Amino acid sequence: MKLIAKMHLAAARAAAAIKNKKGQNTVEYLFMLGVIVVVVMLVGGLIKGFMPDLFNNIKEKILGQANTIGQ
């Protein structure tokens, strides 16, 4: 009889622990981290195609201005 009572008490404590979640658990943090990584990778891929042209334009403007200063 004592064993059944202990098992019932353990089951009740486990059920209470499951129901009494405060804050976020590890799985939720890992999910958020995964979403952030995917977003950063997508944005990085989009920017990668755009950046060489942007840097070339900036370089040409700087060199153009530097050439006018030297004259």
Q: What is the pTM of this model?
A: 0.45
The answer to whether residue 67 scores a pLDDT higher than 80 is no
Q: What is the pLDDT of residue 32?
A: 93
What does the pLDDT read at residue 26? 82
Residue type for 49, please? Answer: G
Task: Give the DSSP per-residue string, 13-70.
Answer: HHHHHHH---S--HHHHHHHHHHHHHHHHHHHHHHHHHHHHHHHHHHHHHHHHHHHHH
Question: How do residues 27-62 score in pLDDT, each as one tens digit?
Answer: 888 899 999 999 999 998 888 888 888 888 999 999
